[in-house]
């Protein structure tokens, strides 16, 4: 029988290895709501202004030019630091013209989740700080924008912002970017889903108090600044060579048509509200007459020594409609105001060009 080797003898003399359990995954407890405000110091600092990166501006301009009119929208990514909301990246959201809202919303949610996951994997900013929306002629008041911004202000830390990009101003050579947030009074009425006459008076709401504008700055690096400077020099040379054929901008007729459509929509909505108000007044008058007759009848019965009739619930006998929602009417009035301001700006610029051309011809 062969003698065991030295390695085997040493292995036999060593104690048997005990099977140690695998370390469990660490567990993290959620921060209590009472402590979140103490830990998150930046949340208590008010938002002073919004800073857009030059790359974000280029992306929004490109998306607005390639997408159909007023359909370009997307998410803004960045962080808020010391009262400044720094927007460092963005990505567009797909536009769907179908009427299947459920499928569209689910697809949009999956797309957003996938994009944010991909950005996180490449160590890029993946914190949503708001969204952008392209518009024409400055008319951006609509139900969809208000609902989206209300959701963002409820879930995001500083409430998020909506950056409005006016395509018409860009076509004239002036890139227009404005940042807005919903006011606290409007947000309070929106949470209560109450936009009747009493609520509008109590919250002092008009179309001009729905949104509040936040100062916006654009930050560019030297390379982008030199590139834009070259583009501006080329555009100036082409303009001086081509000359000006018309003092009025080409969008003036479109602006007039948009203003007329906004006024028609506002008048239609006001007609519907007036009809509902008259219906409510008729039902309330019927209920008041019924209560007055019942009181007179009870007074007569008491005078005759008879027991009075029991009081009945008027709301069961008469179906008094609820007061109509005036949010849509207020938004349409905001569109009319935006079109009117755009028309005033375009006409004033056109008049200056006309007088300048006349002075040049007389010289």
Predicted pLDDT at 158: 64
Interval 243-267: pLDDT, tens: 444 445 555 555 666 777 778 888 8
d(CA 162, CA 216): 11
Instruction: Kindly give the parts of the chain with pLDDT less than 70.
Output: 1-44, 69-70, 96-102, 138, 157-159, 224, 227-228, 231-257, 360, 362-363
pTM of the model: 0.69
Instruction: Give the residue from 80, 64, 61, 72 showing the smallest Cα distance to 160.
Output: 80
d(CA 182, CA 160): 10
Largest CA distance in the chain: 131
Angle between helices 327-362 and 252-303 (to 10 degrees): 150
Cα 154 to chain centroid distance, Å, stands at 12
Predicted pLDDT at 223: 73
Q: What is the dihedral sign for C-alpha 312, 316, 317, 321?
A: positive
Predicted pLDDT at 31: 55
* CA angle, 30 then 34 then 35, to 5°: 65
Interval 100-136: pLDDT, tens: 566 777 788 888 888 888 888 888 888 888 899 888 7
Integer CA distances (angstroms), 346 to 69, 167, 188, 247, 271, in order: 20, 14, 36, 10, 31
d(CA 298, CA 308): 5
- Classify 21 in phi/psi space as left (phi over 0), alpha (psi -120 to 50) or beta: beta
* Residue partners of 8: CB distance under 8 A and separation at least 6: none
Predicted pLDDT at 353: 73
Q: How buried is 213 (Cβ within 10 angstroms: 0-12 exposed, 13-18 middle, 19+ buried)?
A: exposed
Q: With residue 153 as reference, give the H or E element that holds it.
A: helix 143-155
Angle between helices 143-155 and 327-362 (to 10 degrees): 110
Q: With residue 180 as reference, give the H or E element that holds it.
A: strand 176-182
Predicted pLDDT at 241: 41
DSSP 68: P
Q: Is 36 helix (H, G, I), strand (E, B) or coil?
A: helix
Q: Is 108 helix (H, G, I), strand (E, B) or coil?
A: helix
Predicted pLDDT at 34: 55
Burial 187-198 (b: 16+ CB within 10 A, else e): bebbeeebbeee
* Residue partners of 31: CB distance under 8 A and separation at least 6: 39
Residue 132: count of CB within 10 angstroms of its CB? 26
Contact indicator for 96, 107 with CB cutoff of 8 Å? yes
């Amino acid at each position: 029988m062969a003698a065991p080797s030295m390695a085997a003898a040493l292995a036999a003399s060593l104690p048997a290895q005990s099977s140690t359990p695998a370390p469990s995954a660490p567990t993290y407890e959620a921060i209590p709501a009472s402590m979140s405000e103490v830990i998150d110091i930046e949340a208590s600092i008010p938002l002073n202004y919004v800073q857009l990166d030059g790359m974000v501006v280029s992306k929004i301009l490109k998306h607005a030019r390639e997408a159909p009119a007023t359909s370009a929208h997307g998410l803004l990514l960045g962080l808020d630091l010391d009262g400044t909301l720094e927007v460092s990246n963005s990505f567009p959201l797909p536009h769907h013209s179908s009427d299947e809202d459920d499928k569209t919303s689910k697809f949009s949610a999956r797309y957003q989740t996938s994009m944010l996951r991909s950005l996180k994997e490449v160590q890029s900013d993946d914190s949503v700080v708001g969204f952008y929306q392209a518009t024409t002629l400055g008319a951006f008041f609509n139900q969809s924008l208000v609902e989206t911004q209300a959701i963002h202000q409820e879930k995001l830390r500083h409430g998020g912002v909506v950056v409005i990009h006016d395509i018409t101003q860009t076509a004239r050579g002036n890139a227009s970017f404005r940042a807005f947030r919903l006011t606290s009074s409007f947000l309070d009425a929106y949470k209560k889903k109450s936009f009747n006459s009493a609520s509008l008076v109590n919250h002092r709401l008009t179309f001009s108090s729905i949104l509040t504008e936040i100062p916006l700055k654009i930050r560019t690096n030297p390379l982008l600044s030199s590139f834009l400077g070259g583009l501006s020099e080329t555009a100036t040379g082409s303009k001086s060579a081509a000359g000006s054929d018309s003092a009025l901008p080409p969008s003036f007729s479109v602006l007039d048509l948009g203003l007329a459509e906004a006024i028609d929509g506002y008048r239609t909505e006001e007609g519907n509200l007036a009809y509902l108000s008259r219906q409510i007044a008729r039902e309330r008058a019927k209920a008041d007459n019924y209560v007055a007759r019942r009181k007179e009848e009870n007074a007569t019965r008491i005078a005759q020594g008879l027991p009075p009739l029991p009081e009945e619930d008027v709301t069961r006998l008469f179906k008094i409609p609820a007061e109509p929602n005036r949010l849509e009417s207020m938004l349409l009035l905001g569109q009319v105001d935006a079109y009117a301001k755009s028309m005033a700006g375009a006409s004033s610029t056109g008049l200056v060009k006309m007088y300048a051309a006349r002075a040049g011809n007389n010289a």
